[in-house]
Structure 1
Amino acid sequence: MARHEGRHVNTHPEPDLNSCDREPIHTPGSIQPHGALLVLSGTSLNILQVSANAPRFFGRPIPELLGSDLRSVLGPEQFEPLGDLGARLPANGEPVLLRAVRIGNGPALNAIGHRVGRVVVLELEPGADAPGPPGGLHPVIAGFIAKVQTAPNAADLAQLAAVEVRAVTGFDRALVYRFEPDGTGVVVGEDGNGRLPSYRDHRFPASDIPKQARDLYRRNRLRLIPDVDYAPAELIPALNPVSGGPVDLSHAALRSVSPVHVEYMRNMGTAASMSVSVLRDGALWGLISCHHHAPKVVPFEARTTCDLLAQVLALQVAAREHAADYERRVEIQSVLTRLLAHMARADDYVSGLLAHPADLLGFVRAAGAAVVSDGRTGLVGRTPGEEQVRKLAAWLFREQKREVYHTDALSAAFPPAREYAADASGLLAVSVSKLHPTAVLWFRPEVIETVQWGGDPRKAVEPTTGRLHPRKSFETWSQTVRDKAVPWLPSEVAGAGELRNAVLGIVLRKAEEMAALNVELQRSNRELEAFSYSVSHDLRAPLRHIVGYAELLKEVARDKLAAGELKYCDTIIESSEYAGKLVDNLLAYSRMGRATLDRTTVDLNVLVREVRAEVMATAPGRQVRWEVGPLPTVEGDLMMLRLAVQNLLSNAVKYTKPRREAVIEIGCQTDAGAHTLHVRDNGVGFDMRYRDKLFGVFQRLHRWEDFEGTGIGLANVRRIVERHGGRAWAEGEVDRGATFYLTLPAPNNDEER
């Protein structure tokens, strides 16, 4: 036994098989000589062509046969029961057993006819040499139907078919041979007497039966080769007088065999063979292939019985596969309904999917899944790393451009996937957006499999002529297949497509809701900003009056007021000035939402240096250690960005007052098309439970008496950053400092390809 290990099923380059596909196997121009063939005019039934061996059957020379009518050749007694051939033969070319005829004192011959265009092909071949089974062939079919109805699975069905066909025909070996999607054949059932080797569970390469041969098996369900060493009988004349070309013998049982197939049979050690096609929903599901060590003729009646057995097998296989497919589709629909409910209740479809991993994985029986959307990458179960998934999604978006993509050998299409083949050799993915690499991906792990082949699947090419030969050895040849996963079922691929449509519907509905909400929000914001501006503007004058009159009262009545009463005046003045600052900041915040951005190039290194000097000028005597890293140049409104930076640096200096030495770090990191700036201090920090209040208007986490301020500074920072297309957030710990982050777009940063 030879052994071989490889990453793919076909690991060696094969010769070009086009010569096989171009071979005129349906118009060979000759027949097998165990019978005779006549080509008749479809109207007059005159003989247009005969096989070269016809004189042996009819007792007349070929010149006498050509041009004669069929009645005169067979004689009235044999001809009359045939009746009107034109009415009896179906237009689709299906062969029909007409009757048994006897010419002179010769043996009984089965007359089999079929139509080919405007001519009729009549074949005469020997009938049964021995009586059939007791009671005829009907009990065979009935018994087989009873057996297959109780068979639990397709493998048992195939085994029953192999046993029954061999019993009917008497061949040494009967194989049930199923075709895989790539054309590879797998022996799924076998019965034999031990004279020929067993090929149970073996595979045969697609090149053993070329495409046009498979097409012919689909059109003509029965094929008999009684003697591999036959001498072909040519058709005379070679060209049909009606069509002017060779006659199509696709449906002829006597059709001559391709020389390559004859050589294949000899190499396989078989002298006779018969194949019966198993058609599922009109497609070639497989073959029942029989072999014998010596020449063997199988009568038409027995062949027809095998054809009926194959049809029963096909119906049973189809019924079981349809039932299994229906059950799987019902299961998928049930899970899909739950996923839709999850997504509908969630803020977005990504959260809805990721929050229910059991349904997301069970939906298509995957080991892992990922959702890539808006820069987020959520992983569930057994998956590649986040960065690997992101690159895979980018490849799908850039190269595949399909709504639904699936493969059971990912590394063959995407070589980088070999790094994580153990986790993701199978991929099923749906694209959610045509503008961005947004997708839902499911993964299946590698399944390492040892495959048994019926001989080395490679073909040999003659060095001098380049003629294609079938392989000479059928000794078991083992191969270890890697980087492949369990294939995705059509129902699973279809279910993924339905999920994609559902996600698109949810996204569209959310977008419509957001659009309507945005319109209403814009209107409310305009009203609120107008109200804020009006209130703030109207408050400024009364507050100035309060401060002015309080200072005047304090000055005029200083000698008349006690120390406590003067303190009251100071409190009035101080509170009014604070209220004035609140009004000024509120006006600035309102203007920030209405002002048009005056974009320009801003060097953050220069901006931070200038703002740092201004902040330190207001904090005389403070010991501050600044740690400032390299900062980028950005596009933005200089005045707004200055205000944002000023608020962040002022806060850092303010909240580090309790420290003997304040340490303030300013830095930036650039990736994924954005600059992320941070300002970190060693100050009093804050409780992360209240981080959402930091950026709200008038929200403070510390007492005003401890740290002065109005509570609008960070609200301004967030509004400025968001108007520049970024976001702001903070992290901190009580008494261990705080870090404030803000992002700004980096349009010139090359995204990873």
Structure 2
Amino acid sequence: MNSKIIQKCEEEKIQFLNEIQPFGYLIGVDSITYEVNFVSENINNLLNLSASLLLGKHIDDVFDFKINYEDILKLDKGDFIRNVIVINSEKYHFKNYLYKNNIYIEIEHHFDDKFDSINYYNFSEKILHTKTIEENWKNLVDAISFITSYERVMIYKFLEDGSGIVIEENVKNGLESYIGLRFPEFDIPSQARELYLKKKSRIVENIEAINIPIISKENNQIDLSYTSIRTLSPIHLEYLKNAGAYASFSISIVVNNKLWGLVACQNSTAKSISYNIRMQCELLTRLSRISYINFKSNERIKFQNNFNETAIKLKENLLVEESLRSSITKNLKEILLLTKAEGIAFVNDDYCSLEGETPGIEEVLRIKEWAKKQGIDKLFYSNSFYKDYGKELNLSPLAAGVMFRFLDQTYNNFMIWFKKEENLKLKWAGQPHKIEKEKIDENGNKIIYYSPRTSFKYWEEEVLQKSFMWQKNEIYVAKEVLKIIIDTINTQSFKIHNLYEQLKEINEELDAFSYTVSHDLRTPLTVMKLNCQLLQKRLIEDKSSSSQIKNIIGEIDKIVEMMEEILVLSKTKKSDIQLEEIDPEFIIEKIVKELKIYYHTPNTSVDVENIHEIFGEKTMVYEVFLNTIGNAIKYSSLETAPKIIINSYIEKNNVIYHVTDNGIGIKKEDYSKMFKLFNRMSNTDGIKGNGIGLTIAQTMMKRMGGDICFESEEGNGTTFILKFRKK
């Protein structure tokens, strides 16, 4: 008892059918022994010999075909040699090619349809001189329609999602147009597409014709991938019948070694076209393909030139700008215009710059965080991002399509392009579904397979929550722009590192110089001061000379004070510090008392409020308050009622101190000088100072992990804002 095995296959092996169509003959000859390995059963009609008697015989013993074996053996896969021969006073097309150790001999009857050279020349000229891609395909369709007289001739283009669409067509006899209609991917499955890359044309003269079997010496399957007269698979024939076509002819359009599309011809009744006509159609298709490639090449050259110009400007601008943030922000519009995206955003930490139609900043930051959690480190692109992640990320339709990438390994810098939702209505040629069928093979096994669809009734699909697809050029632009930015970041980082090292070395030399000068000048200045004091005692009666010497001593004291502060600044930059919790209340009280005495301002009112503990280094904290409170007391001392207010508050992980005075204030044009060494404000004439104290305060604050800034208006006082760390 035989057990029946249920099998499931999506389609038959269409290149191993062991059958040809009745309008031709096929002989397979071993490429080494030249013996006949296989032959079509109808060969007896041509050679008056039984097919079975030919198997194993040397081909030259059967018939003198005058085959040039040397030339055939040199052929590349897919190439062939074509001749016209005479058998029994009849002309035949005679085609030879080499494949898998067999020499294939195809023979077709030569019809007396004369080659219409004038029409062919005119069609060729028209295709060569087309001005647009659309016109190119129209001219090809019109030419093939005229030559073949098929009722329907169309250009079928394969889309990136696997489906196909009719982009050009010529129909006769009142047939409905397929222009703009889509066909599902499984109409032309992957196995068929692979075959169409091998053999560029296929013909079915009559789907109901009785096909001719091939017999072989070893009774094995014969690979008919490159055979022009082979029959198509039953599934393909059934598909044609369901579509109302009883004859078909198609030619592959191959671009960059990929199946770009097909010239597909259909007729509602059986139809024969000669070998010559098929060759004309193939040659015109090749010509049209070359024309299309030229158009696309010119487009690419134009696009590349435009992109190169923009890319050079972008790179120059990026290198010139001081920061990555400002450089990208200034060039964001130019980057956007290189693609068909509606909007673009650049994120630097929590800063976000937008251009064009984009979602809000919060939504952009949510996408950035999502990408970071996913660990996406390459260019990511999707035209269904809104559909796939809309609920999870609370997205808007403006983020239907995205293309993004991080610019660094720290996930701080992020670039993203946006395409908005497009409510597309796709027209389909029939419901895209297959029907499951079954059959019993010769061994009694049940085989379940999928038959071609039977419905070709038009229907419309509404595609929601998706954007237009990202094109190859757009993806290329994104990759190249991101590469330029990343290279610029690396270049700037390298330069910054070098400059930092140079600056560090210069600072170390300056600090050493400052320390040496400050230290070594003490002795000569001390000697000068002592000599001046002795001279002053001798000239005590000469008031004029005594006054001049007093001035000299005062200037020497200023120089000594300045050197002391330079020495403090030098030590501040180099010394190791240990941060600790400090209650500055006692320090502030001590400084206020000392400064009021030092500046002779007993009437200055100093209010100290809300003192909070800080995290710092005790000596540095003292110096910072000494300089800021000192400035407040000094520059408010000329007021009728000088007043200083010192208070603090907590802000997140920081303690903020304000030191506010009602003094002379600072002019706006002097703001940039505030913390620069030896710089004094333009309205401080007659007030003691050397322009070092605030530089020391700023250096110390930064070393403690804090910061210092100010708010001021000329004539309305100044507030120093000290930001300390909170432990």
Q: TM-score range by the shorter chain?
A: 0.7 to 0.9
The DSSP-based 3-state class of the residue aligned with 1:27 is coil
Q: Is the 8 A contact 1:393 1:438 kept in 2?
A: no
Correspondent of 1:216 among 179, 183, 195: 195
- In structure 1, C-alpha distance between the alignment counterparts of 2:176 and 2:611, rounded to whole Å: 81
SS at match of 1:478: strand
Q: CA deviation at 1:189?
A: 0.8
Tell me the CA shift for residue 316 of structure 1. 0.2
| Corresponding residue SS for 2:232 | coil
- Aligned-pair identity (%): 22
Cα offset for 1:380? Answer: 4.0
CA pair 455-616 structure 1, distance change in 2 beyond 3 A: farther
Q: Say yes or no: does 1:50 pair with 2:39.
A: yes
Q: Is the 8 A contact 1:678 1:739 kept in 2?
A: no
Match of 1:476? 458
Q: What is the alpha-carbon distance in structure 2 between the residues aligned to residue 743 and residue 475 of structure 1?
A: 76
Matching of residues 450-465 of structure 1 within 5 Å: 450-459=425-434
1:455-489 Cα deviation digits (max 9, x unpaired): 33455557998743433322333234443246344
Q: Where does the alignment leave 5 or more consecutive residues of structure 2 unmatched?
A: 1-7, 439-445, 597-601
Distance change >3 Å, CA 726–CA 373, structure 1 → 2: farther
1:173 and 2:147 matched: no
- Alpha carbons of 1:639 and 1:196: their partners in 2 closer, same or farther (altered >3 Å)? farther
Q: Match for residue 39 of structure 1?
A: 28
State the Cα distance separating 1:323 from its structure 2 match. 0.7
Is this contact kept in 2: 1:225–1:274, CA < 8 A? yes
* Matched residue SS, 1:587: helix
Tell which deviates more after alignment, 318-327 or 90-99: 90-99
Question: Which residue type is aligned with residue 68 of structure 2?
Answer: D
RMSD of aligned C-alpha atoms? 4.7
Aligned match of 2:657: 679
Residue 113 of structure 1 pairs with residue 96 of structure 2: yes
Q: Matches of residues 634-649 of structure 1 in structure 2 within 5 Å? A: 639-640=619-620, 643-644=623-624
Q: Which residue of 672, 678, 682 maps to 1:692?
A: 672
Question: Which deviates further from its counterpart, 584-593 or 364-373?
Answer: 364-373
Match of 2:403 among 400, 422, 427: 427
Where does residue 569 of structure 2 map in the other structure? 589
> Is it true that 1:716 corresponds to 2:681 in the alignment?
no
Aligned length in residues: 696
Question: CA 1:300–1:516 in 2, change beyond 3 Å: closer, same or farther?
Answer: same
Match status 1:155 vs 2:134: yes
Distance 1:727 1:509, change over 3 A: farther
More displaced 10-residue stretch of structure 1: 338-347 or 408-417 = 408-417
Corresponding residue SS for 2:155: strand
Q: Structure 2-normalised TM-score?
A: 0.79
How far, CA to CA, are the matches of 2:341 and 2:724 in structure 1? Answer: 37
8 Å CA contact retained: 2:344, 2:418: yes
Distance of aligned partners of 1:116 and 1:572 in 2 relative to their CA distance in 1, 3 Å threshold: closer
CA distance in structure 1 between the partners assigned to 2:162 and 2:337 by the alignment? 30
1:529 aligns to what? 511
Contact 2:539/2:546 (CA < 8 Å) preserved in 1?
no
Structure 2 matches for 1:17-28, cutoff 5 A? 19-20=9-10, 23-28=12-17
Structure 2 residue aligned with 1:84, among 43, 61, 68? 68
Return the offset for 1:360. Answer: 3.7
Which runs of 5 or more structure 1 residues have no equivalent in the other structure? 1-17, 74-78, 670-674, 747-753
Match of 1:305 in 2: 280
* 8 A contact 2:152–2:169 mirrored in 1: yes
**CA offset digits 1:277-333 (Å, max 9, x no partner):** 112243322110111112223222211111111101100000000011111111112
Structure 1 distance, partners of 2:307, 2:270, is: 52
What CA deviation, in whole Å up to 9, does each residue of 1:133-168 have, x standing for no partner? xx6143333212211233221111111111111222
- Structure 1 residue 191 corresponds to structure 2 residue 180: no
The 1-side partners of 2:466 and 2:248 are apart by 37
Aligned to 2:609: 626
1:680-721, CA deviations, whole angstroms, 9 ceiling, x for partnerless residues? 466446455433222223444486699887644432232234
Q: Are the counterparts in 2 of residues 361 and 368 from structure 1 also a CA contact under 8 Å?
A: yes
Is the Cα–Cα contact under 8 Å of residues 264 and 471 in structure 1 kept in the other structure?
Answer: yes
When residues 46 and 368 of structure 1 are mapped into structure 2, their CA distance, relative to the original with a 3 A threshold, is same
Give the 5 Å matches for 1:545-564: none
> How far 1:565 sits from its partner (Å)?
13
d(CA) in 1 for partners of 2:210, 2:106: 18
C-alpha separation in 2, matches of 1:50 and 1:65: 8
Q: Does 2:18 align with 1:29?
A: yes
Aligned match for 1:66, one of 29, 32, 55: 55
- 2:79 is aligned to 94
Shift of 1:337: 2.7
Show the counterpart of 2:651: 668
Note closer, same or farther for the CA distance 1:438–1:279 as it changes in structure 2 (3 Å cut): same
**SS of residue matched to 2:375:** helix
Kept after mapping to 2: 8 A contact 1:536/1:587: yes
Q: Does the 8 Å contact 1:276/1:310 carry over to 2?
A: yes
Deviation at 1:594, TM superposition (A): 1.7
- Go from structure 1 to structure 2 and tell me whether the alpha carbon gap of 1:392 and 1:744 turns closer, same or farther (over 3 Å shift): farther
Displacement of 1:113: 3.4
Taking the aligned partners of 2:394 and 2:291, their CA distance within structure 1 comes to: 40
1: CA distance, partners of 2:620 / 2:249: 87
Alignment partners' CA distance in 2, 1:98 and 1:19: 40
Match of 1:740 in 2: 721
Secondary structure class of the residue paired with 1:26 = coil
Measure how far apart 1:81 and its partner are. 5.2
Contact conserved, 1:626 with 1:665, CA < 8 A, in 2? yes
Aligned residue type for 1:213: A
Of the structure 1 ranges 142-151 and 349-358, higher mean CA displacement relative to structure 2 is found in 349-358
1:268 paired to 2:243: yes
